[in-house]
Structure 1
Amino acid sequence: MLTGKQRSYLKGIANTTKPITQIGKNGITESLLEQLDEALEARELIKVNILETSLVTAQSAAEEITKALDAEFVQAIGNKFVLYRKSQNNPKIELPKS
């Protein structure tokens, strides 16, 4: 569970990050989950864009993906959301303490 200070820190990093993938009319598929799982392991912090043709909202997609991939929800703004999960093999982001 992220603290407010850690969430704010991650929001600052995510501000300059570009979305790595998009969710369209097919919604959340198994291949998308695999792609996001690999991206979280490699980058730890990812931003995802929801297309207008998608039937899911950014908030609902983030909740579903967070549960499926055991990640932490950072924020959702408009049609984008940000997720974080510490890398098992190669941690890069050092979170502030409490």
Structure 2
Amino acid sequence: MTDKAQKLSNQQLKQFRSIAHNLKPVVTVAQNGLAESVMKEIDRALTQHELIKVKVQVGDRELRQQAITEICSLSGAERVQSIGNIAVLFRAARQPDPKLSNLLRHGQTGN
């Protein structure tokens, strides 16, 4: 889907967590797991918004962490934060849309 995710600095992680605080989850991963349609929706959301929240409602804590790790691996995104069943993911867009990118709308860049 994309190139290998770049490693975010601590400052970027802090900024991204701050921006994500007011975001709503755009995708929910339920008991059916990571179906192809769910991964396509996550990919679309990352391409448009760069920084997204995903709600992962699968089993216990260990299963949630495995699902989040798999999402990051398949999508090329980096986990910014995960609290409970909510994960914040980031993947820089090649050509971010200023109207859709959560980073550009908040005056940040992914670089």
Q: TM-score if structure 2 supplies the norm length?
A: 0.77
Match of 2:36 in 1: 30
SS at match of 1:20: strand
State the Cα distance separating 1:24 from its structure 2 match: 0.9
Match of 1:66 in 2: 72
Report the Cα distance in structure 1 between the residues aligned to 2:16 and 2:56, rounded to whole angstroms.
20
Q: 1:41 aligns with which of 47, 55, 59?
A: 47
Structure 2 letter corresponding to 1:83: L
CA distance in 2, matches of 1:14, 1:60: 21
**1:20-44: CA deviation from partner (whole Å, max 9, x where unpaired):** 1211110111111111001000000
Q: Which runs of 4 or more aligned residues in structure 1 lie more than 4 Å from their structure 2 counterparts after TM superposition?
A: none
CA contact (8 A) 2:16 2:80 kept: yes
Aligned letter for 2:93? Answer: S
Tell whether 2:37 aligns with 1:21.
Answer: no
Identity of matched residues, % = 34
Change (3 A) 1:96 1:82: closer
Q: In the aligned structure 2, how far is the partner of 1:24 from the partner of 1:50?
A: 6
Structure 1 unaligned runs (5+)? Answer: none
| In 2: Cα distance, 1:64 partner to 1:89 partner | 25
Tell me how many residue pairs correspond in the alignment: 94
